[in-house]
Copies of this chain bind each other. A is one copy, B any other.
Amino acid sequence: MSQQFDGVSIVTKANVYFDGKVTSRTVLFADGTKKTLGIMLPGEYDFGTDTKEIMEIQAGKLKVLVPGSDWREIDGSGTFEVPANVRFQLVVETVTDYICSYVQE
């Protein structure tokens, strides 16, 4: 897992969702790709995707429900993918630190 991203741009203003229980920062890469680094506090969340997303959990305990799959539990670290243009559900049990990659297909 990456320790840091080098040679990037970071948008100074945060993305804030669910009254601040989910927040993220946008990181822009030289190749035109984008990731967000985010924090989710305990709670239940429903998100929608525009592009395919790869979610890499760096810390935290949570359950995720992606269309076509069963609920999956992640404890401490793990990765899951979400297709473009779907909704997915999360039940976050402990403070969760994630990296989300947006994949243009």
Chain A: residues with CB nearer than 8 A to chain B? 1-14, 16, 19-21, 23, 25, 27-28, 37, 39, 41, 58-59, 95, 97, 99
Residues of chain B contacted by A4 (CB below 8 angstroms): 9-12, 28
Chain B contacts of A19 at CB under 8 A? 95
Known: A19-B95, A20-B95, A95-B19. A39 touches B14 (CB 8 A): yes
Residues of B within 8 Å of A8, CB to CB, are 8-10
Q: List 15 A-B contacts (CB under 8 A).
A: A2-B12, A4-B9, A4-B11, A4-B28, A5-B10, A5-B12, A6-B9, A7-B7, A7-B9, A13-B59, A14-B37, A14-B39, A14-B59, A16-B95, A21-B41
